[in-house]
Structure 1
Amino acid sequence: MQRILVVGVTGAGKSTLARAVGERLGMPCHEMDTLYFTGPGWAVNDTLVEEVSLLTSEPRWIVDSVGYPEVRDLLWDRADTVLWLDYGKRVVMPRVLRRSVRRTVTRESLFGGNRETWAGWLSKEHPAWWAWSQHAERHREIERRTRDPRFAPLDTLRFSRPRDTAAWLASV
């Protein structure tokens, strides 16, 4: 476990797990949304491919994402381990709803200084709507990628329940 992707749907706990594993293993952890969104209005990073290429050329890293389309294959090509939080909607939806309500109420500063807003809840891009509508598609994509021989050899640890993830993390 030297180059790790932590994958799953929105709200699964990818960033939380990635930080915890990074701390335990003394590895740099990179939050994909922080790399992707660089400024107000959810501005996108024009140098994302170069930045991700540079950070994944390092011998040890953790990234908390399947990857945005521009860098998805790059991440999967360079990873040696996938930690898959394969949780059902009944687990992720309460999480993403609590997180989004908290962020909206507290006006928490997010990636690039952006914030979740009440008006944003009406957008299909809002994390709650995204988690709901993309759940099955994201599951299929991760399943396909973990079996794709182009990305072998990938050591894939698939967790279907948070308590299994917690037990594994305690053993790290």
Structure 2
Amino acid sequence: MRRISVVGNSGSGKSTISAELSRRLGVPWLELDSIFHMPGWTPRPVEEFRAEVDAFTAGDGWVVDGNYSAVRDLVWARCDTVVWVDPPKATVMRRLAARTLRRMAGGAELWNGNRERFRSLFTKDDSILHWAWTKHGEYRERYGKAAVDPAYAHLRFVRVTSRDELVRLLDA
């Protein structure tokens, strides 16, 4: 396990797990959100996004964290393991609400000067809570199918649904 794609819903723990895997393996970590979201939450053009991910995943070891379909083919063609972080929906929503409110209250900068704003909680198109609520089932279906798809037989899928499973993964 040297080239790892970490996927899952917003608030599932992808970044926390990715940072720890990166530290333990001594490999670099790329949070896809950090290069996709340009100042003002402007999306990076797809060609530039793919070029950055292509360059990063050319290395011998790495952790890439995120669900972007625009680069999944690049990442999964080069990774050896997909860690699918899939806690229960209630856990995701509790963690995400706490994290989002903490970031908002503290004015935390996420990427490239971007911050979460209170008003975004109440607009369907901008709410990370709405996103996570509606995407939970979609991600379960997507990654559940991918785990048994012969096209991805070269990958080891590790589904993490609980803290105990996470500890076993990190200790392995």
Range of TM-score over shorter length: over 0.9
* Aligned 8 A contact 1:89 1:135 in 2: yes
1:43 CA drift (Å)? 1.4
Question: What is the count of residue pairs matched by the alignment?
Answer: 169
Matches within 5 A, 1:10-25: 10-25=10-25
Q: Residue 158 of structure 2 aligns with which residue? A: 157
SS of the residue corresponding to residue 112 of structure 2 reads helix
Q: Distance in 1 between matches of 2:144 and 2:35?
A: 25
Q: Distance in 2 between matches of 1:64 and 1:24?
A: 16
Q: Residue 27 of structure 2 aligns with which residue? A: 27
More deviation, 54-63/140-149: 140-149
Q: Distance in 2 between matches of 1:123 and 1:74?
A: 33
1:85 corresponds to 2:106 = no
Q: Residue 129 of structure 2 aligns with which residue? A: 128
More deviation, 95-104/150-159: 150-159
Q: Distance in 1 between matches of 2:16 and 2:8?
A: 12
TM-score w.r.t. the length of structure 1 is 0.93
Q: Which runs of 4+ in 1 moved over 4 A?
A: none
In structure 1, stretches of 5+ residues that fail to align are none
Q: Distance in 1 between matches of 2:18 and 2:63?
A: 6
Give the superposed CA RMSD.
1.3
Q: Residue 109 of structure 1 aligns with which residue? A: 109
Q: Distance in 2 between matches of 1:147 and 1:57?
A: 26
Q: Distance in 2 between matches of 1:33 and 1:43?
A: 11
TM-score w.r.t. the length of structure 2 is 0.93
